[in-house]
Structure 1
Amino acid sequence: MTADWGDALGGTVVLAEKWPVLGRHERAVGWLQVWADLGRAPRTIDAYSRGLAEYLLVCEREGVDPLTANRAHVALFVRELTSRPSRRGANVVSIDSGAGLSNATIQQRLVSVRLFYDFLMEEGLRESNPAGRGRYTPGRRQSGQQRGLVPRMTKLPWIPSEQQWLDILRVARDEPIRNRVMLALAYDAALRREELCSLRTDDLDPARRMLRVRAETTKNRLERMVPYSASTGVLLSGYLTHRSTLSRARGPLFLSESRRNHAQPLSLWTWSKVVRRIALEASVPRFSTHTTRHLCLTDLARMGWELHTIATFAGHRNTDSTLQYIHLSGRDLADKLSRGMEHIHAWRINMLTSTEPQRCPGDGSDVRGAR
């Protein structure tokens, strides 16, 4: 691994230690450096590095030069991903385990390989991309319909049941005020983990109970203003008083209270560990830092918020992302079922109380009413 690459990726040596195979492939280093120079988020670079490193390891194992690999070699990589045994059982919580990869994670790995070969084509080192974006599906009338190397599964987000939510609250009630206010804001404002941990004191507007989610902290670089409730405001006020005992300086809102990082900004990983500990203590292992966001948006859909309003609140660039919460809430289906049942109910009552022959809905038969 070259020192220049470490500097390009923010001076970190973590990637070099984690995936030394990348340092053995000059073009891989060059590709990642381009993304780093373009200012991609560290987590994006990390995901690209992980996916490409796993592919390069398969190439080395098979004695294949990645620059001349064909679709059969990429298919071999796909088979390795889809058949990889799970060391932790069927339900793997962390993708860092290197086992039991989900469909979404496999798609993410393939994105890294696909973009790497796009880069090689742009550099004139290849004429085609062996990990192309699929092929046209026979029988599809709509132009542009493609089928990828691995069928993409679209699953609805997981949200806890009411009892599971109460179990989480029971455990959270005994947490320090910082953790309680972070959970409250994460749900109240439907914040992503990075958005929550990146909040600053000057992002708050206590008078109007609003907070600003800065563009550079969001997934799609869309800044937004979101409200929070009065009860969260009371909790937040208590935390600000507590925070002043750690630091009176303006800056990151949530600070570490550990001896090692006292009064330093709270890291994403520390918050993840806090939520994981709460989830395990509450016996709700599927609960994660993103669950509060899923739950909030689903609750808004249940309350009848319009699609575009929820999308604006969530910071979604496309309403396709918002639709999954409408589906998860069952709102549209429940409304249709309710309207349909009202019609059937009215027909049955009318049939019971009428002395005239009744026609069954949907067919041509007559039914004699009760006399």
Structure 2
Amino acid sequence: MSGIVALEKWPVLGRHERAAGWLQVWCDLGRAPRMIDAYARGLAEYLEVCEREDVNSLVVTCAHIALYVRELAERPSRRGANVFSIDSGAGLANATVRQRMVPVRLFYDFLMEEGLRESNPVGRGRYTPGRQRGGQQRGLVPRLTKLPWIPSEQQWLEILQVAREEPVRNRLMLALAYDAALRREELCSLRTDDLDPAHRTLRVRAETTKNRLERVVPYSASTGVLMSAYLAHRATISRARGPLFLSESRRKHGQRLTLWTWAKVVRRIALAAGVPRFATHTTRHLCLTDLARMGWELHTSATFAGHRNTDSTLQYIHLSGRDLADKLTRGMEHIHVSRIQMLTAGESESAGGSR
């Protein structure tokens, strides 16, 4: 998304010269269109609140930012009530509020660099020597860390039952999304030359990943069968190299399948299976959790997932309960042995005395 398109979509940005300039900087730096759109939307929402409250966005204080956070916390979610704080039960989700604050914070960083402000009114977590708990100071909006949701075995079977009736393209995409723990954009951006059917691997190009880390991941023999069937089917649509997954609609026949189309496919499957929480990212969560359950080493799982930091991978180990289960088993074994020894101590002494 270019700066001009963003200004057309969010007119409030055009009424604030500094905001438009900040957005153009990000566009000139070549940031991803989806990131630009998210930043433009977040800043536009903030500036609209400033206009409504008759506040000059260039001279706001931390108190004004706190009022904006409160407005977000009380804003009804389109998906219904969500939990912003432990006891609220309403408002936007914690992660959504934090996401909305990112462009606001970056905007004031920009104003500081331009010499228009001396400080940033949006607090952020930072390391402070001497503080307890590792010296970490909490940011303006505290992070609520939740484990990813994954379906139960029965829910997964319901999803698979519905998916069996889907065209081969959709079945292959669902299989690859789970098999290789692919993000939605990574899956939809696959190209024919990313495949290595001989070794059953595929290349996830750096420009399609979230953190710009290229990786090569394997897929199973079962998915390989689906791959062969789909490639034969794809040849009836187009024999040209390029995007692997093609649209078969009349309007976009033969063009690359978009993220939104795939999201609609997954949503339709989820509703038909009676598992509305199932989404395009669920297969990735499920795969990484299953790998943790199987005992994969942490760094191996991080490399497979394309995580730059193993902290992201740790949540799936926590979700699997593997570490807790192992510790519980070891602890119970020790307790079990000690209890049995106590029960049999008298018998051992009696046996020694009889000799």
TM-score, structure 2 normalization: 0.92
Amino acid in structure 2 at the alignment position of 1:80: E
Amino acid of the residue matched to residue 77 of structure 2? S
Q: Cα offset for 1:18? A: 3.9
User: Quick one: which amino acid aligns to residue 297 of structure 1?
Assistant: L
Among residues 203, 215, 228, which one is paired with 2:219 in the alignment?
228
| Aligned positions of 1:82-231 closer than 5 A | 82-90=73-81, 100-134=91-125, 140-141=131-132, 144-231=135-222
CA–CA separation in structure 2 for the residues paired with 1:185 and 1:56: 42
Aligned counterpart for 1:285 among listed residues 267, 276, 280: 276
The structure with the greater share of residues assigned to helix is 2
Q: Specify the code of the residue in structure 1 equivalent to 2:24.
A: Q
Q: Which residue of 2 aligns with 1:45?
A: 36
* Matched letter for residue 205 of structure 1: D
Q: Which runs of 5+ in 2 are unaligned?
A: 84-89, 350-355
Whole-angstrom CA distance in 1 between matches of 2:241 and 2:77 = 46
Of residues 267, 273, 276 in structure 1, which corresponds to 2:264?
Answer: 273
In structure 1, the partner of 2:244 is 253
Q: Which residue of 2 aligns with 1:361?
A: none
In structure 1, give the amino acid aligned to 2:341.
N
Aligned-pair CA distance for 1:136:
7.8
Q: 1:201 to 1:135 in 2, by over 3 A?
A: closer
Q: Secondary structure at the match of 1:355?
A: helix
Q: Secondary structure at the match of 1:279?
A: helix
Letter in 2 for 1:251: G
Q: Deviations over 1:120-168 (max 9, x none)?
A: 1111111111113158889833665211111111111110000110111
Q: CA deviation at 1:17?
A: 4.9
RMSD: 2.0
Paired with 2:40 and 2:280, the residues of 1 have a C-alpha distance of 23
Unaligned stretches of 5+ residues in structure 1: 1-5, 93-98, 359-371
Which residue of structure 2 lines up, in the alignment, with residue 327 of structure 1? 318
Greater shift, 349-358 or 282-291, is seen at 349-358
Does the CA-based 8 Å contact 1:136-1:147 persist in structure 2?
no
Q: Which amino acid aligns with 2:102?
A: V
Give 1:318's aligned residue. 309
The counterpart of 1:242, out of the listed 219, 233, 248, is 233
Conservation of the 8 A alpha-carbon contact between 1:279 and 1:286: yes
Letter in 1 for 2:309: N
3-state secondary structure, aligned to 2:57: coil
SS at 1:238 equivalent: helix
Mapped partners of 1:333, 1:134: distance in 2: 30
Distance in 2 (CA, whole Å) between partners of 1:24 and 1:357 is 89
Distance 2:44 2:135 in 1: 31
> What CA distance in whole angstroms lies between the structure 2 residues aligned with 1:216 and 1:257?
25
Specify the code of the residue in structure 2 equivalent to 1:153: L
In 2: Cα distance, 1:39 partner to 1:87 partner = 31
- Residue of 34, 50, 62 corresponding to 1:59: 50
Shift of 1:270: 0.5
Q: State the one-letter code of the partner of 2:235.
A: S
Question: 1:73-98: CA deviations, max 9, x gaps?
Answer: 11111000111123542259xxxxxx
Distance (whole Å) between structure 2 residues aligned to residue 86 and residue 130 of structure 1: 26
Contact 1:252 1:265 survives alignment (8 Å): yes
Q: Supply the distance in 2 between the matched residues of 1:154 and 1:75 (Cα, whole angstroms).
A: 21
Q: 1:89 and 1:266 mapped to 2: Cα distance?
A: 30
Q: CA deviation digits over 1:265-299, x for unaligned, max 9?
A: 00000001110111111111111100000000000
Structure 1 distance, partners of 2:182, 2:91, is 28
CA distance in 2, matches of 1:23, 1:208: 52
Give distance in 2, aligned partners of 1:143 and 1:312: 27
Structure 2 distance, partners of 1:91, 1:230, is 41
In the other structure, the counterpart of 2:352 is none
Task: State whether residues 61 and 121 of structure 2, in contact with CA within 8 Å, keep that contact through their aligned partners in structure 1.
Answer: yes
Aligned equivalents of 2:142, 2:205: Cα separation in 1 = 35
Q: CA deviation at 1:329?
A: 0.6
Under a length normalisation based on structure 1, what TM-score does the superposition of the two structures give? 0.88
Which residue, 15, 24, 33 being the options, matches 1:24? 15
CA apart distance, 1:50 = 1.4
1:356 Cα shift? Answer: 5.6
Q: CA deviation at 1:190?
A: 0.3
Q: Distance in 2 between the 1:38 and 1:17 partners? A: 20
CA distance in 1, matches of 2:106, 2:228: 46
Aligned-pair identity in percent equals 82
CA contact (8 A) 1:51 1:109 kept: yes
